[in-house]
Amino acid sequence: MPLPACFQGTLRLPVIAAPMFIVSGPELVIACCQAGVAGSLPSLNARPASQLDGWLAQIGSAREAANGNFAPHGINLILHASNTRLEEDLALVVQHKVPFVVTSLGHPGKVIEAVHGYGGVVFSDVIHAQHARKAAAAGVDGIIAIAGGAGGHAGTQNPFSLIREIREFWSGCLVLGGAISDGYGIRAAEVLGADLAYVGTRFIATTESRADPAYKQMLCSASAQDIVYTDAISGANANFLAPSLLAAGYSPELLTATADKAKLKDLASEAKAWRDVWSAGHGVANIHDTPDAASLIGRLRTEYVQASQRPAVA
């Protein structure tokens, strides 16, 4: 399917580096965009809110200096009522004419109107086909399907199933996320019917990432069996690294349905979700080092080309 105009001719790889809470900053976004991958960050990573203005100016300056050799950058906006910064952050997005916006947890109508007003595009992330139908009806430009095995607030549906189900009714730009850590996974997403791959966990383990060095090392040491899917940390189901859960006092017994809720509440006040309890997806199985973003993207491209050249079975 046709990519939005801002993506055409700017990508070395069909990839969006996913916006990751606390982890993604302007350094990672700029490095990704310079290397030919769309970079993004959550607006809430900028604290205080006024810092977002400076970050967007910094990214904009890097974009201008690149003379066209810069993939599009995006901002993730949380639409839930608990986000008291939404109006302020959206105003900055409009002011800086951010090429694309990713919306989460809410109806994107108001954001679509504002972003389309300056020619930007809006993606909505979903974990179920019914969410995708609602996003399509709202008028989004793209749908990001977060399948089972993704880091953060992921769904549980297998990517083979989820992407094909959405493709039955959605002909627009479609992005697939979930355990994609190498170029073979990027190519597989395309074969399934996605236009772009959404890669998060792999970019945590890069030099430009703002993740704690111990977090990066834990990613390199972890296997898929170390990923725990639980709602005990933030109230919504998400994937976390088991060693970080244990370090924060979350024993396996506390993560069951019959857990001591009072004890969980006490732990939550001491171990901040995302800051001290670290998220990751099943893609940790293929993460063994922490290169800079440009080197990683070069490696992903080599693998992607190799996967694309594999002969079909006769």
**Tens of pLDDT along 36-62?**
999 999 999 999 989 999 999 999 999
- CB-based contact 47:25 (threshold 8 Å): no
As a whole number, the mean pLDDT across the chain is 93
Which pLDDT does position 257 carry in this prediction?
55
- CB-based contact 129:165 (threshold 8 Å): yes
Nearest to 27 by CA among 39, 43, 16, 37: 39
Distance CA 72, CA 183 (A): 20
Which pLDDT does position 118 carry in this prediction?
98
Distance CA 78, CA 89 (A): 10
Which band of pLDDT confidence, cut at 50, 70 and 90, is reported for residue 234?
confident
Name the pTM for this structure: 0.94
Q: 185-227, pLDDT tens digit by residue?
A: 999 999 999 999 999 999 999 999 999 999 999 999 999 999 9
CA 157-159-163 angle, to 5 degrees, is: 105
Residue 264 has pLDDT above 60, yes or no: no
Which pLDDT does position 243 carry in this prediction?
95
- Residues 6+ positions from 237 with CB-CB distance below 8 Å: 153, 154, 156, 229, 230, 231
Per the DSSP assignment, residues forming a β-bridge with 41 are: 75
CATH architecture of 5-210+288-308: Alpha-Beta Barrel (3.20)
Which band of pLDDT confidence, cut at 50, 70 and 90, is reported for residue 263?
low
Which band of pLDDT confidence, cut at 50, 70 and 90, is reported for residue 98?
very high
> How far apart, in Å, are the Cα atoms of 213 and each of 87, 108, 234, 271, 297?
34, 35, 23, 18, 20
Which pLDDT does position 84 carry in this prediction?
93
Nearest to 216 by CA among 295, 303, 148, 278: 278
**Domain residue limits, the chain:** 5-210+288-308, 223-270
Which pLDDT does position 290 carry in this prediction?
98
Q: 115-152, pLDDT tens digit by residue?
A: 999 999 999 999 999 999 999 999 999 999 999 999 99
Who has greater pLDDT, 276 or 191? 191
Which band of pLDDT confidence, cut at 50, 70 and 90, is reported for residue 183?
very high
Angular region, 55: left φ>0, alpha ψ -120 to 50, beta rest? alpha
Which band of pLDDT confidence, cut at 50, 70 and 90, is reported for residue 265?
low
Which band of pLDDT confidence, cut at 50, 70 and 90, is reported for residue 269?
low
Running DSSP on this structure, what letter comes out for residue 225? G
Which band of pLDDT confidence, cut at 50, 70 and 90, is reported for residue 292?
very high
